[in-house]
Amino acid sequence: IGAASAFAPGAMLPATKSVRSATTQGPSMQLLPLYRDGELQGSTVMYRPGVERPLALDGTYVGDIGFDPLGFTNVIDLKWLREAEIKHGRVCMLGVVGFLAQEFVTLPQFENGATPLDDFFVVPAPGLWQVFFTIGAVEAFSNNFKLTPGDMFADGRAPGDLGFDPLGCGKNPDALARRQLVEVKNGRLAMLAFSGMLHQQLLTKQGVIEQLANFKAIM
């Protein structure tokens, strides 16, 4: 699951006629480049050799390496899962930057908590409600109020494509495919990093940069 150039269109690319043959030597992750459409990516690209690829993960989406150990793609619409991954990746990329920035930046009329995580609890309740309703409005309007797996993609919209591409990243299909892979990989990494930072601050009561500079063991 995964793709898209930071809000750029086209999570799926048109098929090409060229097909690269895959070698059976070495780890399957090295068989074919993980970008472009399914023909170039290949259904043989797997996160772990010897594992059967889920039927829904046919290599069409950029970054698809057949990873679905819990079988979500067997019961939930793949486009819905793809949309969720892309959005969570984007939010976490912003969240990681925010976690780091809050150790150095304080907005006017606000005060920071002991750690960036604590900053959430010093924001006045009206401010939190503003954030909550703003996020809801962005989600609703960006999907034309189609919010269920049954209607979200009824108009043919590709998962992750919000029509936002001010820099024209989607003009070159090959460059777009590479950017889509970069986004999904960075998004996946950011989701892990954000979770790690969150739990690190819960356990150590230190910010990320502070702990790197002044490490304190938990025990």
Q: Which helix (H) or strand (E) holds 183?
A: helix 173-204
Using alpha carbons only, how large is the chain's radius of gyration in Å?
A: 20
Could you tell me if 35 and 181 are in contact, meaning their C-beta atoms sit under 8 angstroms apart? yes
In angstroms, rounded to a whole number, what is the distance separating the alpha carbons of residues 106 and 128?
17
**Along the 219 residues of the chain, how does pLDDT read in single tens digits?**
444 433 443 444 333 333 333 333 333 434 345 555 444 455 667 788 888 888 888 888 888 888 999 999 999 999 999 999 999 999 999 999 988 998 888 878 777 788 888 888 888 889 889 999 999 999 898 888 888 888 888 888 889 888 888 888 888 887 887 888 889 999 999 999 999 999 988 888 888 888 888 876 766
Coil, strand, or helix at residue 196?
helix
State the pLDDT at residue 43: 63
State the DSSP string of 43-76: TT--SSTTPPPPTT--S-STT-----TT-GGGTS
Per-residue model confidence (pLDDT) at position 130: 94
Q: Which of 4, 60, 50, 53 is nearest to 24 (CA)?
A: 50
Residue 219: the pLDDT is 65
Give the per-residue pLDDT at 169: 80
d(CA 204, CA 197): 10
Q: How far is CA 184 from the centre of its chain?
A: 5
For the record, the structure tokens of 16 come out as: 């090409």
The confidence score (pLDDT) of residue 70 equals 92
pTM comes to 0.76
